[in-house]
Structure 1
Amino acid sequence: MGHDHVHNHNHNDLKGRNLVISILLNILITVAQVIGGLVSGSLALLSDALHNFSDVLSLIVSYIANRLSKKEASLQRTFGFKRAEILAAFINASTLIIVAILLIIEAAKRIQDPQIVQSNLVIWLSILGILANGFSVLLLKKDSQANMNMRSAYLHLLTDMLASVAVLIGGLLMKFYQLYWVDSALTLAIAIYLIWMGFDLLKESTKVLMLFTPDTIPIDQIVKEINAFAEIKNVHHIHVWQLNENETHFEAHIDFEHDITLTQFDKILHKVEDLLLNKFEINHVNIQPEYGKDDVKDVIVQD
């Protein structure tokens, strides 16, 4: 069966440009915060710099994945690189959690031994982080709503902007109230937030990579509605999976009541396709027709 695909190259180019801008901004922030953290002695600032460095890596991964996803399919890669952005989302979510664990370890050490921090430098560099990351967040916000890869990059930047806000608050508390333990406490809070944000994305991207049935697809209902067609005796051996966020695939064996012609099969196939597309948003369908075949008729069959 044929499928219509609409490629918006201008939109893809815009996504790529926005990612490049965000990468450059985060490199600037990372360098400034590493220097500032070492000079001021602020663990929160260094933790924010580490998070920013992970942002740089994640944004580069996202950019490469965005470029790869536009490559055409070939004999060696019949799906092309359509899963590159899902893989990027998985990598980025994993790095969020790893960075968070490292921050928790460092914060725990520092809480036991609070150190004096040069708060003025912390304040100004956190403001720089808020402005630069805030601009990057605005650049990626629209695309993050429809693309898992862009959402992973957006989450990295959003959490870093919020981390910079937390560092700013900590800098002000240290400057005016000499509460130096706040530096470690904020680092711990940032780390916990990173884990919370990264876990859902990690779980979502893992489901796609593992070919799990999307949560929105009720297989029992699909079976019931396909079986309702008069010509169909049984639908079985079903697989439903997402190739990426735009393509949901469905394959199944359909046992027919009669030994129909190929022309009759095509007509029934179009009805099944319309049902799956309009009601369940499944846009790639592969049906194996059968008549009187002696095979397992279970809905789900372990291959």
Structure 2
Amino acid sequence: MAMKDQKRQIIKLSIMIGLTFIFFLCELVVGHITNSLALIGDSYHMISDVLALVIGLACLAISTRSSKQNTFGWARAEILGALVNSVFLAALCFTIFIEAIQRLITPNNLENPKLLLIVGSVGLLINLLGLAIFYNETHGHSHGGNARQERPIKEKENFLQMETCPSTSGNVTENVRENGKIESFNVSTAENRSGNASSKASQMNIKGVFLHILGDALGSLVVITSALVVIFCEGGWVAYVDPVLSIFIVVIILSTTYSLLKQSALILIQHVPDHIRIAELSQKLCSEIDGILGIHELHIWQLVGNRIIASVHVKCRNAEEYKSLSVKIKDFFHDEGIHSTTIQPEFVEVCNQFSTIFIRLTIKT
């Protein structure tokens, strides 16, 4: 992600942290004064937003830092932030739901509904401001091109491969080192893709913040509705409006949070992306590229955003043949939307030679 975009997001997050924390204090005090569950629940939701914004800000700040201990840097910090925010939001929804059930069993009338209406209206304005600030961050940059349409950057790549392969008389291990230059499609260092992947991860992080603010906006609507009902309506049913609407908002928030929770969790456990079918991809690789004698240990996972990584063991005849195969294999994975690949070759001829030597030595002894 460009530094300009990062600074813009940091400024927006800082502004929202200040506004949200101030209003949290106001809602908490007024909620206890008016005995409004919706307002008290919304105040807790507000403090969760403060934590969500702080988490989002921290993850955004460290996501682009390099680290000698973390070979991928802090690329997944924002994914972790999205997961934490969604889990925290789900836990808060559970708390509000329990309180709403208690209010349905033992209903309480709202006190000072006019003050409640004023606080709810101010809260709605702040939340609408937050939604306007972060809407473009979650929707405005999500229309980039398909990863399959990007062409790779051709460059020279040094490599060192090690290989263990079986023989007819036991296991013979041979370290095969190929020093020199191989022309290949190395996309791991392509800045145009890493920037795009960072942008996707940032969108997930900001989406978690956006959902928190959206939940607060809905909570403010509940507070306003409850206050208006108490002011203009009469009857015993009025006491049930506040908890019923609170449960309704919980359902809405959970339905919007589930997709973010699932997406961030699957990325962190290195689940194969949904659009990739491992079995079909494996068969296609062997059938389309001549010279591949077999493949195994095919692993595909998602680092962040659309940055998908693959590693595979490829069995071929010799090192010379692998030079041309590596280009074709990387190009194949690129066409499948996988732009960072690690290929470990297994040379059959080398194994056969050492197997023959091993057998001869065994016969002589």
TM-score by length of 2: 0.73
Structure 2 contact 289–328 (Cα < 8 Å) conserved: no
8 Å Cα contact 2:208-2:260 kept in structure 1 = yes
Equivalent pair of 1:127/1:164 in contact (CA under 8 Å):
yes
Identify the match of residue 27 of structure 1 among 21, 29, 44: 21
Q: Tell me the equivalent position of 1:151.
A: 207
Identity %: 27
Is 1:115 the counterpart of 2:172? The answer is no
Partner of 2:291: 231
Residues 20-63 of structure 1: CA deviation (Å, up to 9, x unaligned): 12212211221121121111111101111111111110110111
Equivalent-residue separation in structure 2 for 1:252 and 1:83 (angstroms): 23
SS in 1 for 2:65: coil
Give the Cα separation in 2 of the matches to 1:27 and 1:144.
Answer: 23
CA distance in 1, matches of 2:306, 2:16: 25
CA contact (8 A) 1:255 1:290 kept: yes
User: What is the alpha-carbon root mean square deviation over aligned residues?
Assistant: 1.8
The corresponding residue for 2:49 is: 55
Amino acid at match of 1:276: F
1:282 aligns with 2:332: no
Instruction: Indicate the SS of the match to 1:236.
Output: strand
Q: Any residues of structure 2 matched to 1:71-110 within 5 Å, and which?
A: 71-74=65-68, 76-110=69-103
1:140 is matched with 134
Whether 1:183 aligns to 2:183 is no
Structure in which a larger fraction of residues adopt strand: 2
Correspondence for 1:250 = 310
Letter paired with 1:170:
S
CA distance in 2, matches of 1:246, 1:24: 33
Bigger radius of gyration, 1 or 2?
2
Q: Deviations over 1:225-251 (max 9, x none)?
A: 321101212222111111122421111
Indicate the residue corresponding to 1:259 in structure 2.
318
> What is the match of residue 272 of structure 1?
329
Q: Once the two structures are superposed, what CA deviation does each residue of 1:154-184 show, in whole Å capped at 9, x if it has no partner?
A: 1111121122122212221121114121111
Match of 2:269 among 210, 213, 216: 210
SS of the residue corresponding to residue 180 of structure 1 reads helix
Write the distance in 1 (CA, Å) between the matches of 2:323 and 2:130: 49
105, 110, 119: which one aligns with 1:125: 119
The letter of the residue matching 1:70 is: T
CA shift digits 1:164-205 (9 cap, x unpaired): 122212221121114121111112222222322222222211
**CA contact 1:21–1:136 (8 Å) conserved in 2:** no
Residue identity matched to 1:247:
R
SS at match of 1:286: strand
Greater relative CO (CA pairs within 8 A, separation 6+): 2
1:104-154 per-position Cα deviation (integer Å, ceiling 9, x unaligned): 111111112222212212211111121111111121122224421111111
Once residues 308 and 137 of structure 2 are traced to their aligned partners in structure 1, the CA distance between those partners, rounded to angstroms, is: 20
CA contact (8 A) 1:62 1:88 kept: yes
Give the paired residue count.
283
Residue 2 of structure 2 is aligned to residue 8 of structure 1: yes
Q: Which runs of 5+ in 1 are unaligned?
A: 1-6, 295-303
Partners of 1:143 and 1:153 in 2: CA distance: 11
Q: Distance in 1 between matches of 2:292 and 2:91?
A: 51
- CA distance in 2: counterparts of 1:172 and 1:158, whole angstroms: 21
Aligned partners of 1:267, 1:10: CA distance in 2, in Å?
A: 41
> Structure 1 132/253 Cα, relative in aligned 2: closer, same or farther at 3 Å?
same
1-structure distance, mates of 2:281, 2:250 = 42
User: CA separation in 2, counterparts of 1:30 and 1:196?
Assistant: 24
Please give the secondary structure, in 1, of the residue aligned with 2:102.
Answer: helix
Unmatched tracts of structure 2, length 5 or more: 140-199, 353-365
Contact kept, 8 Å, 2:315 with 2:346, in 1: the verdict is: yes
- Paired with 2:9 and 2:345, the residues of 1 have a C-alpha distance of 42
For 1:152 and 1:181, how far apart are their aligned partners in 2? 31
Question: How far apart are the structure 2 equivalents of 1:281 and 1:13?
Answer: 30
Aligned partner letter, 1:242 = Q
How far apart are the structure 2 equivalents of 1:10 and 1:266? 41
Is 2:87–2:261's contact at 8 Å kept on the other side of the alignment? yes
- Asked if structure 1 preserves the Cα contact closer than 8 Å seen for 2:222 and 2:242, the reply is no
TM-score by length of 1: 0.88
Task: Return the alpha-carbon distance in structure 2 between the equivalents of residues 198 and 192 of structure 1.
Answer: 10
Task: Please tell me the residue identity of whatever aligns with 2:232.
Answer: F
